[in-house]
Structure 1
Amino acid sequence: MSQLQDNFGRKFHYLRMSVTDVCNFKCSYCLPDGYRPDGKPGFLSLDEISHLVGAFAEAGTRKVRITGGEPTLRKDFSDIIRVIADTKTINTIACTTNGYRLEKHAREWFDAGLRRINVSVDSLDPRMFYQITGENRFDEVMRGVNAALEAGFERVKINAVLLKNLNDQDLPRFLHWIKHTPLDLRFIELMETGLGRDYFQAHHLPGSSIRDRLLAEGWSLDPRGAEDGPAQNFSHPDYQGRIGLIMPYEKHFCDSCNRLRVSARGKLHLCLFTEGGLELRDLLQSAEQRPELIARLERQLLLKRETHLLHQGFTGVTQHLASIGG
């Protein structure tokens, strides 16, 4: 049983760990002006990552997702996977990527211990893909998705942010894609961040509208598993793939929260939309600091709010999703 629990009975067994803020894409809803360095990188070292994951594992963490920025930009990305895979009691290692290196490295990462991968594909129209991401890499990313399927990953998911008046017409294409392909589609409702209020107002598409359409077309809501997070998952007897909806503006969205976030510079974030982060890096210098680090985590969790305040327009200090790993 996890030692990491808040005042509302929620247990946290899932760590989303950013390893870099850097991204080579310029997605309009995240980094519209591209990555802008803020002084020296100073991202967690491999040893610091090892101490961090070891402490979380001892405190009950069973799943680690490597995020960014674009995590595969790190030259030691395969080594990061191996460090996590060598950590006892971690039984699931996942990664979220824009997919641009996936074609060449899918097998290498699988062999290192990566088992689940989410690839961001916001449109199946190459022109719209370019408009949203700022990169003309659609074919390259799609070859990467195929390489991941061939490498034998337990689960390959496609992340897409459907945007009103941009790529919202892509839904039929996505559905056609997964009819005979065993992919999990994950539609993520656009969230307002500190940099994107005007963009949010222009392009926010409620996830409930997608859900209503799926139900009308014969999709069924799957029973929620004991360790499931806030996604609502749907299946259809005529489709090999499945669909998940992330709807942060839905009532009770936060009830099933099971994840904690650590930024690439070693700060703990209790929520994607948080006022600030708690420094952990001073306790990531040796294995002997592990008890103190776990105690700090447990104390901080007692401050976690019951829910985010997105409905009130409060986005915390998060200027863009790349800053703490989305």
Structure 2
Amino acid sequence: MTSPGAAATDAFGRRFRYLRLSVTEVCNFRCTYCLPNGYAKSGAMDFLSEQEIGRLVRAFAGLGITKVRLTGGEPTVRKDIGELIACVARQPGIGKVALTTNGWNLARHIDNWVAAGLTHLNVSMDALDRETFSRITGHDRLEDVLAGLERARALPLKALKVNAVLLRDGLDDGFSAWTGFVKDRPIAVRFIELMRTGDNKAFFEQQHVSGEVLRTWLQERGWTPSERGADDGPATEFSHPGHAGRIGLIAPYAAGFCDGCNRLRVTARGQLRLCLFGQGGRDLRRLLVDDAQIGELQDCVVDALTFKPAAHALHAGDPGDMTNLAQVGG
């Protein structure tokens, strides 16, 4: 059995402090880069329950995980998302409870989620122009998302970030609208390089832009990279003395991207994924039946980590068995 205080570490010496936990595969948006035809039910809606999530997070916390991000799909389509936030927040050792959402109902519920224990919020918002936003997401909801962001700014969140996928279609006006957006807002806007998945090959070839385009643009205008924290995600964030917020870049095709990997992923049905773009995973759900299994669950995770690969194979055009990002939560 895993000894008390054992850490989640892989064969390459990488220490894992960050768990990305999907709570549903369902998404109510139809983003061009992920689910252009909308969510299609692929099986029973038997996603992890609140009790299972509590046991899972408790086990990971015992392995040194201190930050948990709830993802999807779109996690807020679950009516019990507030209860799930509270469940994660009360687990000993978890200091950061994060949520990634498309913001469709953010303004209505963010107060309750923060009261439940939410500390960090990421909002997916791929454009600042209403027509472009609608074209990318399939929904004319930009004003709702912006309203939710403004409400979130008034609350005691430790971090508020916006995620935008870097697409060729969005380069016509450069990035100046985004730097203007963060000039007076203490928000980090992070651009995520478009990633190849099993069902987006043609779209990827048409729309992929190297993250170096953004990096060069920022550095030519006086933006400088900031240091990453031990449990931060993979973004490199850039700051500028004339702006309250930051601009970030997540560039999975950059050399050495996987060297500092510090996060593990569990799917909405309880499968441990060692790499977002890997093959298969370990079934943890069978070990979430009762509290007595937590030690066995930890042993399973520690053993699985010995098989974690050094890096993904996206450079070779191999996305593993990742059909679309809604499967695991990106």
TMscore range, shorter length: over 0.9
The 1-side partners of 2:96 and 2:172 are apart by 32
Letter in 2 for 1:285: V
SS in 2 for 1:174: helix
Structure 1 SS opposite 2:264: strand
Query: Are positions 1:24 and 2:28 aligned together?
Result: yes
Q: Which of residues 298, 320, 323 in structure 1 aligns to 2:324?
A: 320
TM-align CA RMSD: 1.1
Q: Which residue of 1 aligns with 2:82?
A: 78
SS in 1 for 2:150: helix
Aligned to 2:284: 280
1:99 corresponds to which residue? 103
Give deviations 1:193-227, integer Å, cap 9, x for gaps.
Answer: 00011100100011111000100000011134344
Distance 1:8 1:302, change over 3 A: same
Structure 2 counterpart of 1:134: 138
* C-alpha distance in 1 between matches for 2:54 and 2:230: 28
Q: Which runs of 5+ in 2 are unaligned?
A: none
Partner residue in 2 for 1:252: 256
What's the TM-score once normalised by structure 1's chain length? 0.98
Where do residues 135-284 of structure 1 align in structure 2 (5 Å cutoff)? 135-166=139-170, 169=173, 171-284=175-288
Q: For 2:192 and 2:227, locate their aligned partners in 1 and report how far apart those are by CA, in whole Å.
A: 20
The answer on whether the counterparts of 1:128 and 1:167 sit within 8 Å (CA) in structure 2 is no
C-alpha separation between the residues in 2 aligned to 1:252 and 1:201? 22
Whole-Å Cα distance in 1 between the matches of residues 61 and 174 of structure 2? 40
SS in structure 2 at match of 1:319: coil
- The residue aligned with 1:60 is 64
Cα distance change on mapping 1:167 and 1:129 into 2, 3 Å: farther
Residues 1:48 and 2:62 aligned together: no
Q: Is residue 2:307 matched to residue 1:295?
A: no
Query: Residue 11 in 1 paired to residue 15 in 2?
Result: yes
Match of 2:225, as an amino acid?
L
On the 8 A contact 2:251/2:257 being kept in 1, the answer is yes
Provide the C-alpha distance between the structure 2 equivalents of 1:100 and 1:207, rounded to a whole number of angstroms: 27
Distance 1:45 1:163 in 2: 36
What is the letter of the counterpart of residue 156 of structure 2?
G
Tell me the secondary structure at the aligned position of residue 124 of structure 1. coil
Deviation string, structure 1 residues 160-219 (Cα, Å, up to 9, x no partner):
012003455352111101001111111100000000111001000111110001000000
Aligned length: 326
For the structure 1 residues 136 and 11, does the alpha-carbon distance in structure 2 shift closer, same or farther, using more than 3 Å as the test? same
Distance 1:89 1:189, change over 3 A: same
C-alpha distance after superposition, 1:58-81 (max 9, x if no partner): 111100000000101111100001
TM norm structure 2: 0.97
For 2:307, what is the secondary structure of its paired residue?
A: coil
Q: 1:2 deviation in Å? A: 5.8
**Structure 1: runs of 5+ lacking an equivalent:** none
Task: Return the alpha-carbon distance in structure 1 between the equivalents of residues 201 and 80 of structure 2.
Answer: 36
Q: Is the 8 A contact 1:272 1:324 kept in 2?
A: yes
Which letter does structure 1 place at the counterpart of 2:196?
Answer: E
CA distances 1:86-124 after superposition (whole Å, capped 9, x unpaired): 101100000000001100111100000001100011000
Instruction: Kindly state the Cα deviation for residue 252 of structure 1 after the two structures are TM-superposed.
Output: 0.4
